[in-house]
Amino acid sequence: MNVLHIATLNRPIRQDLGYGPIETVIYNIDKGLHKLGHRSIVACSGDSHVAGEQYTTIKKSFREYWSKDTSVQRENMRRHLVRSLQRAKKGDIDIIHMHDAVMVEYIFKGVFKSPVPIVMTLHVPAEDKGSFKQWNESLLSSSTAYFVPISEYQRKQHHGLVNAQKVIHHGIDVEDYPFKSNPGKQGYLFSIGRITSDKGQDKAIEIAKKTGFRLILAGNVQNKVKDRAFFKRLKKTIDLVADAGKPLAGSDYYKKVMKPILDSDKQIIYIGEVDSAQKKQWYRYALATLFPIQWGEPFGLVLIESMGCGTPVVAFRKGSVPEIVIHGKTGFVADSIEDMAEAVRAVHLIDRSNCRKHVKDNFSIASMAGKYSRLYQRIIDERTLCLKTSP
């Protein structure tokens, strides 16, 4: 099959991103489809680097994961969609895969009229007046748009959405994640994600102080008033701010960046935003990854990334957590701060090889790409049959 992915523009589509959850998923789907032998074409910004074919629509991504809606950005979005449509109309594309709810608005206004079926991955939660709800109210079951939830939790949120498909969980290339059977003497708690109240970094600090373990916090602070205010309050409880995003990798990164930080006598340490290779090292040496989310997250990539390195997860029972983490086997699912603290004290009982096996068996790139491939084929076959049988 020939699949055209219309990428998001917040950040480039490539492997070495720090924060870029949707972009990481697009990269992984493209990589998986390419490995399966499909022709995977990614319409994206020029600073991207994909496994399949790259079709550049604009020179650079926005670089900021969130920023104010400007006329320049909207024009770039329009140009991106128009050029993607031009590529789709060349006649060799079987299906289009989209990922951005904001793009729905442009489709709704007629800027993008697809010549082939569209698969839309639902990366965002349902909202009462969100883009998907607005679009859904005007869609018929005969529409050529098909929506894919990324967890059972999210599927229930989007109940009633026209052409909703079966859940396809995200996947990672487990071989890219270094495994460590024992975290070593400097075992610490790790928490990574956008610095915001929804992610619960303040709760992670509370848990660290209750248990006496060191906590490493990683993540970017977006240019949002709410997030900046949260980080300002959070900094008062942080003992050390260190720059761990230095351009080093592998053993050099551990020796020159990680070890000096871990040799300090500080308990709560914020290391800023780290890239893909660097965060894998922080996962690898951690005793456990804390995931004290305060909202119903549709799917937490952090969960499978951590377990892929063999590091168990201690998380709150919110969103998709219970369907990703096996309580007592790959981590612990908790209902309170006290539960999480107790789980941290028991995390040494988890066999880290079970964590990695769980990801290999259920959240691999191959599994994800295979499910999308079968979905594409079914949609194409159904549309072909309808055309043949229509008067």
Residue 389 has pLDDT above 70, yes or no: no
What is the model's pLDDT at position 19?
Answer: 78
Q: Give the C-alpha separation, 217 to 269, whole Å.
A: 6
**Residue position matching structure tokens 């890219």:** 176
8 Å CB contact between 6 and 98: yes
What is the model's pLDDT at position 132?
Answer: 66
Other Cβ atoms within 10 Å of 290 Cβ, number: 32
Q: Mean of the pLDDT values across residues 190-214? A: 96
* pLDDT tens digits, one per residue of 294-320: 999 999 999 999 999 999 999 999 999
Residue 250 has pLDDT above 90, yes or no: no
8 Å CB contact between 52 and 46: no
What is the model's pLDDT at position 263?
Answer: 93
What is the model's pLDDT at position 382?
Answer: 85
Q: Give the C-alpha separation, 66 to 62, whole Å.
A: 9
For a pLDDT cut of 90, what percent of the chain falls above it? Answer: 70
Residue 44 has pLDDT above 70, yes or no: yes
Residue 203: what residue type?
K
* pLDDT tens digits, one per residue of 100-131: 877 766 665 655 567 889 999 998 777 655 66
What is the model's pLDDT at position 74?
Answer: 82
Q: Mean of the pLDDT values across residues 348-367? A: 96
What is the model's pLDDT at position 320?
Answer: 96
Residue 170 has pLDDT above 80, yes or no: yes
What is the model's pLDDT at position 281?
Answer: 93
**Residue position matching structure tokens 């020939």:** 2
Q: What is the DSSP string of 23-67?
A: HHHHHHHHHHHHHTT-EEEEEEETT---SSEEEEEESS---SSS-
DSSP category for residue 172: B
Strand order in the sheet with 2-6: 53-58, 39-45, 2-6, 95-98, 118-122, 145-149
pLDDT bracket for residue 140 (50, 70, 90): low
Residue 361 has pLDDT above 60, yes or no: yes
Residue 142 has pLDDT above 80, yes or no: no
**Residue position matching structure tokens 């959850």:** 21
8 Å CB contact between 94 and 3: yes
Q: Mean of the pLDDT values across residues 249-256? A: 85
Domains and CATH numbers, the chain: 2-171+364-389 (3.40.50.2000), 174-362 (3.40.50.2000)
Residue 314: what residue type?
V
Q: Give the C-alpha separation, 305 to 28, whole Å.
A: 13
Q: Give the C-alpha separation, 314 to 333, whole Å.
A: 6
The tokens describing 374, both together, are: 């079968």
Residue 68 has pLDDT above 70, yes or no: no
For a pLDDT cut of 70, what percent of the chain falls above it? Answer: 90
What is the model's pLDDT at position 383?
Answer: 77
Strand-pair category, 240-241 with 118-122:
unpaired
More confident residue, 244 or 143: 244
The tokens describing 251, both together, are: 């053993």
Q: What is the pTM of this model?
A: 0.92
Q: Give the C-alpha separation, 31 to 25, whole Å.
A: 10
Whole-number average pLDDT of the chain: 90
39-43, 69-73, 224-228, 279-283: range with lowest mean pLDDT: 69-73
Q: Mean of the pLDDT values across residues 272-287? A: 93
Which residues lie across from 164 on neighbouring strands?
147
What is the model's pLDDT at position 139?
Answer: 64
What is the model's pLDDT at position 36?
Answer: 95
Residue 221 has pLDDT above 60, yes or no: yes
pLDDT bracket for residue 53 (50, 70, 90): very high
